[in-house]
Amino acid sequence: MDIKEINELDIQSERKHWWIRTRFQYIEKLFSYFTKKNLSVAEYGCGSGQNLWYLKTKSPSISKVSSAVGIDPNLPEGFSGEWCDENFRLSSNLNECSEKKADVLLAMDVLEHVDDDEAVLKQWISTMKSDGAILITVPAFQSLWSYHDEFLEHRKRYTKKDLLEVASKAGLRPVYLRYAFGYLFPVVYLVRKLSKGSKDQQDLKLPNPIINSIMLMLGKLEKSLGGNPLFGTSVIGIFKFEETK
């Protein structure tokens, strides 16, 4: 969760939200590309740290991980999580992860916040080992732009082609590139066009348990079917370094 949204949805409620829990499934997809253990993980733009909370306390992939650090310059002073310890921690220091240290990088809904996404991506992957992988998620399609994007200070929304172009310029190749939440796209498109940028529009709310469960089931089904190749409200990409000949 973006730090700006902490007051809009508390951390405990966020952990139950179908959108957040669906995204956790793509973290598992990322780790499916690794067979070795003792992996070092770094997350850029970690926000409130929920992805690392999931990794440490809920993920079956935790057996592959030896350490993880969440990095976000917007973290309030002293902000931490009850799950943090010497091996799983949060930091506001952008230089927390040294060059070629991390096996696994997470950058989930971060790239859209920066002006020069290519330069920032290159900076992130300078801390990734040559056989590492990075999971990138970004909001999809400029046609879905809303007040929520403005509130979160987004610069743009992406297509698969856009994300692929940025990643390729940074020396990465895709091993997985799909849209997510495709089943929501028509509804979100209509709502956002009808609302005409209303400031009353709010995306991140915890629905009633039945709706929450249905939405989570749809997200898991979409992911298990390989993602949506055509459209969605998010782009999900897993990338590795281009192989040198």
- By the 8 A CB rule, do 85 and 79 touch? no
**CA 173 from centre of chain:** 18
Q: Give residue-wise pLDDT tens across range 205-229.
A: 788 999 999 999 999 999 999 999 9
Give the model's pLDDT for residue 135.
Answer: 98
Element (H, E) at 131: strand 128-139
Quickly count helices (H) and strands (E) in the chain.
8, 7
Q: What is the pLDDT of residue 243?
A: 78
Q: Work out the average pLDDT over 25-39.
A: 97
The alpha carbon torsion through 163, 166, 169, 171 (nearest 10 deg) reads -60
- DSSP letter (8 states) at residue 243: P
Least Cα distance to 237 among 56, 29, 34 occurs for 29
Q: How far apart are CA 147 and CA 153, in angstroms?
A: 10
Helix (H) / strand (E) containing 65: strand 65-71
Q: How far apart are CA 221 and CA 103, in angstroms?
A: 28
CA 45, 51, 52, 55 dihedral sign is: negative
Instruction: For domain 3-241, say whether CATH 3.20.20.30 is its number.
Output: no
For 160-211, write each residue's pLDDT tens digit.
999 999 999 999 999 999 999 999 999 999 988 887 655 555 556 788 999 9
pLDDT at residue 199, rounded to an integer = 59
Distances (CA, A) of 15 to 11, 196, 235: 6, 30, 21
> What's the predicted TM-score (pTM) here?
0.92
Q: What pLDDT was estimated at residue 203?
A: 57
Tracing tokens 């992406």 back to the chain, one arrives at 158
DSSP structure string for 146-194: -HHHHHTT----B-HHHHHHHHHHTTEEEEEEEEE-GGGHHHHHHHHHH
How far apart are the C-alpha atoms of 105 and 185, rounded to whole Å? 28
Backbone angles phi, psi at 241, to 5 degrees: -70, 145
For 163, other C-beta atoms within 10 Å of its C-beta total 23
Q: Residue 10 pLDDT > 90, yes or no?
A: no
pLDDT, residue 198, reads 59
pLDDT per residue as tens digits for the range 115-172: 999 999 999 999 999 999 999 999 999 999 998 899 889 999 999 999 999 999 999 9
What local confidence, expressed as pLDDT, does residue 79 receive? 85
pLDDT at residue 197 in the model: 58
Tokens in use for 69? Answer: 């650090």
Percent of the chain with pLDDT over 70: 92
**71-121 per-position pLDDT tens digit:** 999 998 888 889 999 999 999 999 899 888 999 999 999 999 999 999 999
Q: Can you give the residue ranges of every domain in the chain? A: 3-241
